[in-house]
Amino acid sequence: DLRAWQRPLRAQFPIITGNPELTYLDSAATTQKPQAVLDAVQTHLTTANANAGRGTYPWANAATTLVERTRDRIKEFLGDPGPAHSAVHFTSGTTEGLRVIARDWLPAHLSDGDEIVVPFADHQANLSPWLEAQQLLARQGVRIRVREMPYQTSSGDYDPAALAELTGPRTAFVAATHVHHVYGQNMNVHRIRQAVGSHIPMCLDAAQSVGHLPVDVADLDVDFVVFSGHKTLALPGSGAVWARQARGPRFTPGGWSGSPNTTGIVSLAPALDWLDAAGPDRIERWTVALAARLSEGLRHLDAYDILGCQYSLAADTVVQQRCGIVTFRHRAIPAGDLGFILFSHGFMVRTDGHCQADAGEKSSSVRVSLHVYNTPEEIDRLLAVLASLG
Ligand code: PMP
């Protein structure tokens, strides 16, 4: 019974239990933090705060050890089958993680005439770094071609057949997104791997999947996984790149040349412990069910259109793939106004263009994004308010 599983988990988020009149529906932007994470940070800052990677006194050693242990914890959390041959590089989040790969790894692995395939309709953070790498290389006289990851208009997923067609001997790198931050579509990464073959380095933007569903690097067969700490119950300003080292030369994790965000890194391990104990598979079932409840409710309200969902509402199987994210518009009320009305009822939602890279659906919409602390009652209350705006 997922309800009995969820109730005590929700009780561990003080900001949720402490604000019963408010409903937080913006977890794709950032997640709330459970008490265990707050405690770990407080303990670190009040008992052993020191800069990691420098100094030899006990607090400094303890900070360094915590950082190194967190690297191991991330590998374990991601199901890394060869932790001795992989690297974890700490970043401030997904944006910096993707940028680090594009700046420090990618250019060294591309030659004149190579092609890379990247998504044009996902988060901006998973497009601009690759275009900047292309420009950087062009200034060095290396011309690479950036190809657009094809989408299936019928499902919102990538199109593996079209991808296989545009993949060739010059394809040197593929970037994909695991869960779309506006549509909640869980992209079929296995089919992307099958389409491009086993030898091409593949990078996965996992900002909306780590902590929301099981993310297993062996199962997914990807080379880079990038995620943000603040979206996985940890502190803002923390995040990581996990890099398998098998395909292509090594990705070298950042050294100790600058001060790491020790407190942020310290918050990651208890967050991953918490998520592991709760069970990413159950979190997925919970949030997918809440998203389906919201989609179903919206489907019966004529005044609303669900983005990217014209197709998926026809088939329950596709609705089942919406990972805790539902984005919609009211046909008459502008999204900003709708957000304002919703907050007057205590609902906190995202309202804007959602940092989406493509121009197609850039105009404003309302995004509801869910996590383990949300409940079916919250969805029903939201639907009642939305229905009243008919
Ligand atoms: N990729 C995706 C899919 C995202 O949802 C986000 C955050 N909205 C990012 C990248 C950027 O993450 P951050 O702001 O933590 O760097």
Q: What residue ranges of the chain are covered by domains with CATH 3.90.1150.10?
A: 2-33+279-388
Q: Check pocket membership of 123 for ligand 1, CB cut-off 6 A.
A: yes
Q: Does domain 38-278 have CATH number 3.30.750.24?
A: no
ipTM above 0.85, yes or no: yes
Neighbours of 269 (CB within 10 A): 21
Mutational pocket test of ligand 1: of 181, 323, 358, the residue with most ligand atoms within 8 Å of the beta carbon:
181
DSSP-assigned letters across all residues of 191-250: HHHHHH-SSS-EEEE-TTTBTTB---HHHHT-SEEEEEGGGTTS-TT-EEEEEE-SSSSP
Q: Check pocket membership of 295 for ligand 1, CB cut-off 6 A.
A: no
The class of domain 2-33+279-388 in CATH terms is alpha beta
Atom of ligand 1 nearest to the CA of 94: 16
Neighbours of 201 (CB within 10 A): 23
- Alpha carbon 329 to its chain's center: 23
Mutational pocket test of ligand 1: of 208, 226, 323, 369, the residue with most ligand atoms within 8 Å of the beta carbon:
208
pLDDT of the chain, 390 residues: tens digit per residue: 899 999 999 999 999 999 999 999 999 999 999 999 999 999 999 999 999 888 889 999 999 999 999 999 999 999 999 999 999 999 999 999 999 999 989 999 999 999 999 999 999 999 999 999 999 999 999 999 999 999 987 778 899 999 999 999 999 999 999 999 998 999 999 999 999 999 999 999 999 999 999 999 999 999 999 999 999 999 999 999 999 986 655 666 655 568 889 999 999 999 999 999 999 999 999 999 999 999 999 989 999 988 875 444 444 444 446 789 999 999 999 999 999 999 999 999 999 877 776 645 556 899 999 999 999 999 999 999 999 998
Atom of ligand 1 nearest to the CA of 230: 15
Q: What residue ranges of the chain are covered by domains with CATH 3.40.640.10?
A: 38-278
Q: Check pocket membership of 208 for ligand 1, CB cut-off 6 A.
A: yes
Q: Check pocket membership of 97 for ligand 1, CB cut-off 6 A.
A: no
